[in-house]
Structure 1
């Protein structure tokens, strides 16, 4: 009897994983995911137990390949490097690879066991950039055309890697110059994000839940590593230290900003205020606001989703063209 039960359970588990695997394969192919195309180097270790995936060009267009670093979202507590394939940026990534680009998607440190992901997740980004720079020749990468793109929490890390310096977070290696940053609904002022109405409403709902669930879902506590309500002065100090707006200055590389005007996770004001600051510093930037669109492009129609792919591809490719023009003028 026990053998029959065990056999039944084993068959059920195998069928479950077969269904999940089949569903994922169908999803990836149906959404034209980059993971279904060309050569990909999976799970390459770049630091400790952290790895990255290298999506090589699908067409050899350049003698050396321009490179884009992708940083996934997930509120600094979740997410995977494979999320680049979940259809929010698929079209842009496919276009870039078809035009000879290499796309590298990284893991980074997430909040765990009451420990904040900061500043380690930011340092991870800097270390990944350094790893890429050190191996540019063996990977046939052109560091003269090197940019970074992220969504949500990943966009925050991407901006920190462009706006701040490795030495700000105890790293000794020199900063690799990046040519642009693509900010997809990323938070750039953490204190304002923490004090926003949307987060206040979410936290109020979480507080009403039973304590074990409350503690598990308390996003603010996980991100800060302490209860931010207990000492707002400390909270603001920590938030400012890890906010991209703190490090804004003149002569930053161009910034592309994409945000939905109905975002209930990262308020649109995070991006509109960033644009105003960039404008005041005369930093080249481009902003696109998606109407009736929530976080992660929820609510966007097919036309809007298509526009997002074109905005990203055109921005990145135009930066390469402009940089090439500047180089030819100098020479």
Structure 2
């Protein structure tokens, strides 16, 4: 099969996992692991969509690795897979690669394109997971040990991957038949419910609580379908007592995605006996920015808590 991957392998036929030492070039590889960059996982009407894979340098090539997907933030309108190279995000995934995971960072269509709505973002990231399932032998990844971590809008996408049935979000016909098993996921300050607008209310009068609505319904949507579409994009409605474990991490002074979303998901989980853990960072705003004092706990502890949550399920195949 023809794979658009790192430059040295472009236009070559790849029958098995390449020797990654051949493609470990470029500044993106220095801080996370050796990897394959700019792999095209699907073609959409708007653009080709790419992902990167990072591997441990000392991996055992005879075994498939558990894989963690990173779904970036940016309000469904900005950001790229390269967000993984920023600050605490980079540090988190570098440590997870060192713990024996492969990491896949995904770009998806953005709502700044007038033809794209939030559902397209969900479909794209699910297609990325299906693509890895389809090509698990080529890339040496285990589609039955899938994890996901996302921040902000990527937190909502991570929750959707963990909780929602992927058959409800079909995308590329060539990927539809490929299955995967999600083991656990982490949402950093991601929204859980768009149907309850009060969850977005803050003390900031400049922020419309329904400001993300146009990214859900699109410019040509029948207004009468608004509530249905809001529910479709709300991870909390897919939560069951058999859902994979989910870690909701949130900031107590976040005015972009208020902490109420995390409490809301936890409350629903407790009602039905679902496995949702909650962790709230004090004196923190969006992106774990300081808000009113030193964040508590500090950033390195937030990273540690994230990694510990994933590690406890590393060998779990459910």
TM bin (shorter chain): 0.7 to 0.9
Q: Residues 141 and 173 (structure 1 numbering): CA distance in 2 closer, same or farther, change over 3 Å?
A: same
Aligned mates of 2:275, 2:238 — CA distance in 1:
16
1:298-317 correspondence to structure 2 within 5 Å: 298-299=289-290, 301=295, 304-317=298-311
Counterpart of 2:15 in structure 1 is: none
Which 10-residue stretch deviates more, 154-163 or 187-196?
187-196
CA gap of 1:135–1:175, structure 2 versus 1, over 3 A, is closer
Relative distance call for 1:115 and 1:202 in structure 2 (3 A) is: farther
Distance 1:124 1:187, change over 3 A: same
Q: Please state how far the C-alpha of 1:227 moved relative to its aligned partner.
A: 9.4
Task: Tell me what 1:24 maps to.
Answer: none
Mapped to 2, the partners of 1:164 and 1:266 lie a distance apart of: 21
Aligned to 2:93: 93
- CA offset digits 1:308-329 (Å, max 9, x no partner): 11111111111014x27x7xxx
- Residue 257 in 1 paired to residue 248 in 2? yes
Inter-partner Cα distance in structure 1 for 2:203 and 2:106: 27
Aligned to 2:159: 159
Q: Count residues with an aligned counterpart.
A: 279
Q: How does 1:53-202 map to 2 (within 5 A)?
A: 53-60=52-59, 63-171=63-171, 172-173=176-177, 175-193=179-197, 196-198=200-202, 201-202=205-206
Counterparts of 1:142 and 1:176, CA distance in 2: 9
CA 1:266–1:251 in structure 2 vs 1: closer, same or farther (change >3 Å)? same
| Unmatched runs of 5 consecutive residues or more in structure 2 | 1-26
TM-score (norm 2): 0.79
- After the TM superposition, which of the residue ranges 187-196 and 134-143 deviates more from structure 2? 187-196
1:161-216 deviation digits (Å, cap 9, x = unpaired): 222223323454354220011111111101335773239833469xxxxxxxxxxx
Query: What SS is found at the alignment partner of 1:114?
Result: coil
8 Å CA contact 1:187, 1:266 repeated in 2: yes
1:224 matched residue in structure 2: 217
Q: CA deviation at 1:71?
A: 0.3
Cα distance in structure 2, aligned partners of 1:83 and 1:272: 27
Contact 2:78 2:112 in 1 (8 A): no
Alpha-carbon distance change, 131 to 109 in structure 1, aligned in 2, over 3 angstroms: same
In structure 2, the partner of 1:271 is 262
CA displacement, residues 94-146 of structure 1 (integer Å, 9 cap, x when unaligned): 11111221100001111134334232111111111111111112211133322
Please give the root-mean-square deviation of Cα atoms over the aligned residues, in Å. 2.8
- Contact 2:53/2:103, CA 8 A, preserved across alignment: yes
Which structure has the greater CA radius of gyration? 1
Residues 51 and 105 in structure 2, CA contact (< 8 A), matched pair in contact too: yes
**CA-CA distance at 1:36 after TM superposition:** 2.8
Deviations 1:222-258 (A, max 9, x none): 4432399x95x54322211211112111201101111
Change (3 A) 1:293 1:195: closer
* Cα distance in 1, alignment partners of residues 240 and 195 from structure 2: 20
Q: C-alpha distance in 2, partners of 1:292/1:61?
A: 42
Q: For 2:216 and 2:96, locate their aligned partners in 1 and report how far apart those are by CA, in whole Å.
A: 33
Output the TM-score relative to the length of structure 1: 0.76
The aligned residue for residue 36 of structure 2 is: 41
